[in-house]
Amino acid sequence: MSLRKAPLPRLLLNNVSCMRNGHQILRHTNVSLHDGSALVLSGANGSGKTTMLRMLAGFNRPSAGQVLWNGHDVTKAGVFDQYKLQLNWLSLKDAINDKFTVFENVVWFELLDKKEGRSMPALELMGLGRLANEKPRRLSMGQRKRVQLARLLALDRPIWLLDEPSVALDEDGLRLLEYIIADHRKKGGIVIVATHQPIQIEDAMFLRLPPRFPRGMSHTDMLDRADWIV
């Protein structure tokens, strides 16, 4: 009888704790992410979702435990240099340069990886083909978000860290986001999403971060109480 060892997770949160400004965001958390898996981070404003994405990207060190990529601590200098090339980061700041066209704003990222040919199909999939030669200042918020999604597709990286990727997207945009996430996972990619909005992600793991300021009464409760307003 041969005993096969379970494969090492691609990404492992190994007993990780994380603090920000004296606030505990994570306490002794263990999460294994294999190729093709997804993790959804939720929690109130300020609960630490972006902080956790930054930690997963290796920018912030956990206060205890380790984030391991292929078994190696991502904050170690030699590992981080390789690990960062695995990451595709979508942040709330869209980093779109208004001096360049929509196409140039996407192809720039592809060329950094010494590749070519994915940007135009990505823009077309996002419904922006006809705007490719326009300057981004003419784009709506949702269209700017679609440019960010086109970048995700143009840059061929296996681990996606997505901070609020659905903000400003319409129904069609949300379906496209769900489609590209599913497709990326089918190809073995890993997707980690911080979101307040429901995004359909099949068989995703969920991690809800505790609130920054736990309170007995929410702001909505307060607004409902007439005697509270003077």
Cα 16 to Cα 24, 31, 43, 120, 220, distances in angstroms: 11, 9, 18, 40, 33
Beta strands 38-42 and 205-208, pairing class: parallel
Q: Is residue 151 near ligand ATP by the rule CB under 6 A?
A: no
Q: Is residue 49 near ligand ATP by the rule CB under 6 A?
A: yes
Amino acid, single-letter form, for residue 95: A
Close Cβ partners of 69 (under 8 Å, ≥ 6 residues apart) = 10, 11, 79, 83, 86
Quick one: 60 or 101, whose CB is closer to ligand ATP?
60
Q: Is residue 166 near ligand ATP by the rule CB under 6 A?
A: no
Q: Which stretch binds ligand ATP (CB under 6 A): 3-11, 19-27, 65-73, 173-181?
A: 19-27
Q: Which stretch binds ligand ATP (CB under 6 A): 43-51, 56-64, 108-116, 139-147?
A: 43-51
Q: Which stretch binds ligand ATP (CB under 6 A): 15-23, 59-67, 104-112, 128-136?
A: 15-23
CA separation for the pair 149, 126 (Å, rounded): 7
CA separation for the pair 154, 123 (Å, rounded): 9
Q: Please list every residue from 51 through 70 that binds ligand ATP, using CB under 6 A.
A: 51
Quick one: 14 or 51, whose CB is closer to ligand ATP?
51
Quick one: 43 or 136, whose CB is closer to ligand ATP?
43
Rounded to a whole number of angstroms, the minimum distance from the CB of residue 207 to ligand ATP is 12
Q: Is residue 185 near ligand ATP by the rule CB under 6 A?
A: no
Quick one: 9 or 65, whose CB is closer to ligand ATP?
65
Helix H, strand E, coil C: the string for 8-63 is CCCEEEEEEEEEECCEEEEEEEEEEECCCCEEEEECCCCCCHHHHHHHHCCCCCCC
Beta strands 64-69 and 38-42, pairing class: unpaired
Rounded to a whole number of angstroms, the minimum distance from the CB of residue 192 to ligand ATP is 13
Q: Is residue 43 near ligand ATP by the rule CB under 6 A?
A: yes
Quick one: 20 or 184, whose CB is closer to ligand ATP?
20
User: Among 8, 7, 10, 39, which residue's Cα sits nearest to residue 26?
Assistant: 39
Q: Which of 14, 37, 47, 143 binds ligand ATP (CB under 6 A)?
A: 47
Find out whether 30 and 135 touch, Cβ atoms under 8 Å: no
- Which residues form the interface with ligand ATP (CB under 6 A)? 20-21, 23, 43, 45-51, 212
